[in-house]
Homo-oligomer: A and B are copies of this chain.
Amino acid sequence: MLDKSKARDLMLQRKREKKLTWEEISKHIGRSPVYTSMLLYGYGQATEEEAEGLVKILELPPEYKEVLMDVPMRTPSQPWPPTDPFVYRLYEAVLLYGPAIKDVAHEMFGDGIMSMIDVMIDVDKVKDEKGNERMLLKFNGKWLKYSRW
């Protein structure tokens, strides 16, 4: 049975064979690169337009459209705890600095959380004053307050 995890392998292979960038694919469907990457990795439920756009640009078999529109069971595509140094550095930030970030956030917002469902994630390249490259990673999530009843 074709599922999101098998589909991911073929989609990433097509992206590589066709030498398409995330930038190009994401523009084709009118979304951002990280969102588009998450769709291909199997972490989202594509709209019909998104699914058709991806099938077209990646020249996928037609049954991929439906798979892209399925609701995903979200499971990691990496070992855990993360062993890759890129991912581990993010993990390290949450492990060590999570409570400090939480403390500053609560001062601004009161009790609650930054939603990881209604969230936008972006990666940018910036330069410091000496011209060194820096990566800028942004999470922009809806603030949710705890209910009372």
Residues in chain A within 8 A of chain B (CB atoms):
1, 9-10, 12-13, 21-23, 31-35, 37-38, 40-41, 43-45, 47, 71-123, 125-126, 128, 132-149
Chain B residues whose CB sits within 8 angstroms of the CB of A84 once the complex forms: 72-75, 98-99, 102
**How many copies of the polypeptide does the oligomer hold?**
10
Chain B residues whose CB sits within 8 angstroms of the CB of A47 once the complex forms: 148
If over half of A's interface residues share one DSSP class (helix, strand or loop), that class is named, otherwise mixed; here it is mixed
Chain B residue at smallest Cβ distance from A88: B92
Residue pair B100, A94 in contact (C-beta under 8 Å) = no
**Which residue of B82, B105, B135 contacts A86 across the interface (Cβ within 8 Å)?**
B105
Residue pair B99, A41 in contact (C-beta under 8 Å) = yes
Chain B residues whose CB sits within 8 angstroms of the CB of A43 once the complex forms: 96-97, 100
Residue pair A111, B78 in contact (C-beta under 8 Å) = no
**Which residue of B40, B97, B115, B140 contacts A126 across the interface (Cβ within 8 Å)?**
B140
**Which residue of B1, B31, B136 contacts A149 across the interface (Cβ within 8 Å)?**
B31
5 A-B contact pairs sorted by A residue (CB < 8 Å): A1-B12, A41-B99, A45-B111, A90-B116, A91-B98
